[in-house]
Amino acid sequence: MTPDFSFEQAGFADGYHVIAGVDEVGRGPLAGPVTAAAVILDPARIPDGMHDSKKLTAKRREALYEQIAAVAEVSIAHASVEEIDSLNILRASHLAMERAVDGLPRVPDLALIDGNMIPAGLTMAAQAIVKGDARSLSISAASIMAKICRDYVMWDLAQQWPGYGWETNAGYPSKSHKLALRNLGVTPHHRRSFKPVHNILYQEK
């Protein structure tokens, strides 16, 4: 499955003029924010080789990040660890998506959302597309931008909180991360509502 521009072309045919692809990254990690991107592609200047960010090498993602940033309208937004813990990860990821759309230079009249749910706070027409990052070029672009930006956030946090391996595991529950969590303890950037973190806090008490 390779992403194409057919969902966007169908939207244009239905009378929509400004179409944004929206995706998030970071639902699964034990630490760090959940990050979303919204991207409005220029149909005449779509970078070659875009795909679901998980299917690209780090080098290719970096190159596409620069290319997308140069030709598209992009907005990045986050929902914090505190928001994840108070709302739940699904609602927090939708909040990040809503913020990303709100941050675009232009208000889209159609949002293409990766997944099977549309964030409740969106005020424009929206279409949920399962596996959208592998099917829609706009969502693919959003997945790349969100992934790179969140990786940068986690790399920065890794400099402040060494030992957890966030510069390589991006906060995901790798074996070394979970071991560090037990040995070094819970940081302010860990999601306390997530079971491995919650269990350590509970055991410490």
Q: Supply angle C-alpha 164, 168, 170, rounded to 5.
A: 75
CATH architecture of 6-152: 2-Layer Sandwich (3.30)
pLDDT of residue 205: 46
Q: How far apart are CA 158 and CA 3, in angstroms?
A: 33
Q: Residue 114, annotated ligand binder? A: yes
Task: Give per-10-residue mean pLDDT for the chain (205 aa).
Answer: 95 98 98 98 94 85 97 98 98 98 98 98 97 96 97 98 97 96 96 94 67
pLDDT of residue 203: 74
End-to-end CA distance of the chain: 49
Q: Supply angle C-alpha 176, 54, 93, rounded to 5.
A: 80
Q: What is the amino acid identity at position 102?
A: D
> Global pTM?
0.95
Q: Residue 24, annotated ligand binder? A: yes
Distances (CA, A) of 34 to 25, 55, 82, 109, 191: 6, 20, 11, 25, 11
pLDDT of residue 53: 78
Name 20's bridge partners: 111
Q: Residue 52, annotated ligand binder? A: no
Neighbours of 18 (CB within 10 A): 17
Residues 6+ apart with CB under 8 A from 58: none
Q: Is the CB of residue 132 less than 8 Å from the CB of residue 21?
A: yes
Each domain of the chain, given as residue ranges in start order, spans 6-152
